[in-house]
Structure 1
Amino acid sequence: MSEQGQAPENPQQQGREPVFLLPGDVTAVLGLLVAIHLASTLVLNQAGQMQLVFWFAFQPLRIIAGLDDLSLAVPLIWTPFSHALLHAGWEHLLVNAAWFAIFATPVSRRYGAGPMLAIFFVSAAAGAALFAATTLYSGAYLIGASGGVAGLTGAAMRFIFQPVIVAQHPETGERVVLGRRLASFGELWRDKRASMFILIWVVLNAAVPLLPLVTGMDMSVAWQAHLGGFFAGILMVGLFERKAG
């Protein structure tokens, strides 16, 4: 071992918190979402924005069009995922970014960057699938990170409300925090906080199609993507549990 010592740390620096409390991968995704929206609004003209939507938004009608011309269906290879990187406006982006930061952070810290991104994009695709099932002939298209964010929310529901597990170190006797266990589906339902959150989430999103009947206004909310992504996240998070630290 080298005998060269280090200068003692400044006492004021020892208790200093990091500037960015988000994991690096979460910050990177947020930066990417902002960069894409900046480029689409400040660099592209109206024709360029239309091309961006045409090639990267998810359009269920391509499924039907592809039956006559297979080339029209080719973007369906990537648009179930790429639509999650586009947003209709700054308000749309900021809401999704805030929700992403809240729920991607615990998932990333528990499983790492790869599983967090997998849950995000697979949930976005699941949300796109449910969106397609309900809007196939409408000509509607889907953009926004909300399906993927909903998946991260569902994944987090499996552990954020669970009690912290504390063990005793076999040699030192110290109490060691092991983290929170992943709840089974039965435990998830029996947990009042988790079940209430899930119930409210499902009811609010399922009620979106009824709002025009009550308010007379179309909310333009892709409730299908929210529900599809949410349940995809709940289901698939267990695949990564063996890697939890």
Structure 2
Amino acid sequence: MDASPDFPRQSRVPVFNMPSVVTAAIGLMLAIQALRDFVLPETWDIRLVLDLALVPARWTIAIDPAQGEEVLKAAVSNDATISAAREAFARYLVAEPDAAPWTFASYALLHGSWMHVIFNCVWLAAFGSPVARRCGPWRFGLLALAGTVAGGALHVALDPLSLAPLVGASAGISALMAAAARFVFQAPPPGYGSQPWQRPPRRPLESIPELMRNRSAVVFLGIWLVTNLLFGAITLPLGAESAAVAWDAHLGGFVVGFLLFPFIDGPGPDRA
């Protein structure tokens, strides 16, 4: 008689222990960066950035053409090496106003450098994975899209005359980070983890008062806020030239992810 316990059947361990939607998103971002760096001619890459990046001034001029003069004034720079290019770009936007509404989402597909895209991939793997496992790929995608759009909208609202193209998936990832913060810092239930094959039970989302009593969550939220404010005050080498981190886009995505997640968090067991 075999007295060994009836262990659950073990499946093969995947190479990447991430939900497929997260793996696909990371693969897409890396593939686009590789395409831009190693395949596309420079003129095509510039065209791609013009078509997909979010430029606040373009949206401002499309809504109110009278703001064209203000955009031209804002384009003047003390740096002679970039002033002419900025002014030429501003005149192009004024001459051909186009809101390009898709850029409120498409800017997340582009990144300024390999460091930029790899940094975002790491955070997406860390915080996007628990959200995708909990609510499935469609709700995961909806939340990331909502954070991306909200981050872009706040960036345009706070800096409407800017000619700097906004790129990067950070706003959408910030929304996923905020969503994950509502459940990943809860202590496991008593007795969980005594068996290696046990899956973590689905826990209810913490309310705002509960989060404020959760020390781990408070520390995470505080570090996130402080680092974003600091990054907004300095420049980082994210592209061909140093650029300020779009802290406002991160903030917009984070707030929307934090507030929206309870409404799209589906019932039922976690899904891989």
* TM exceeding 0.5: yes
What is residue 25 of structure 1 aligned with on the other side? 21
> For the residues of structure 2 that align with 1:24 and 1:176, how far apart are their CA atoms?
18
Secondary structure of 1:137's counterpart equals: coil
Give the TM-score, by structure 2 length: 0.74
User: In the alignment, does 2:138 pair up with 1:142?
Assistant: no
> For the residues of structure 2 that align with 1:43 and 1:15, how far apart are their CA atoms?
39
Structure 2 residue identity aligned to 1:204: T
Deviation per CA, 1:173-226: give whole Å up to 9, x if none: xx99632220011111121110111112112212334347xxxxx652111111
Aligned length: 221
Secondary structure of 2:202's counterpart equals: strand
> For the residues of structure 2 that align with 1:241 and 1:97, how far apart are their CA atoms?
23
Structure 2 residue identity aligned to 1:110: R
Shift in CA distance, 186/73, structure 1 to aligned 2, threshold 3 Å:
farther
Shift in CA distance, 42/133, structure 1 to aligned 2, threshold 3 Å:
same
Aligned partner of 2:226 among 183, 193, 203? 203
> For the residues of structure 2 that align with 1:37 and 1:70, how far apart are their CA atoms?
30
What is residue 93 of structure 1 aligned with on the other side? 117
Structure 2 residue identity aligned to 1:51: R
Structure 1 unmatched runs, 5+: 1-12, 168-174, 213-217
Give the TM-score, by structure 1 length: 0.82
What is residue 68 of structure 2 aligned with on the other side? none
> For the residues of structure 2 that align with 1:120 and 1:91, how far apart are their CA atoms?
21
What is residue 33 of structure 2 aligned with on the other side? 37
User: Does structure 1 retain, via aligned residues, the 8 Å contact 2:232–2:244?
Assistant: no
Higher relative contact order (CA 8 A, sep 6+): 2
Structure 2 residue identity aligned to 1:210: A
User: In the alignment, does 2:248 pair up with 1:224?
Assistant: yes
Shift in CA distance, 70/153, structure 1 to aligned 2, threshold 3 Å:
farther
User: Does structure 1 retain, via aligned residues, the 8 Å contact 2:234–2:244?
Assistant: no
Shift in CA distance, 89/184, structure 1 to aligned 2, threshold 3 Å:
same
Deviation per CA, 1:118-153: give whole Å up to 9, x if none: 111110111111211222112122100111111100
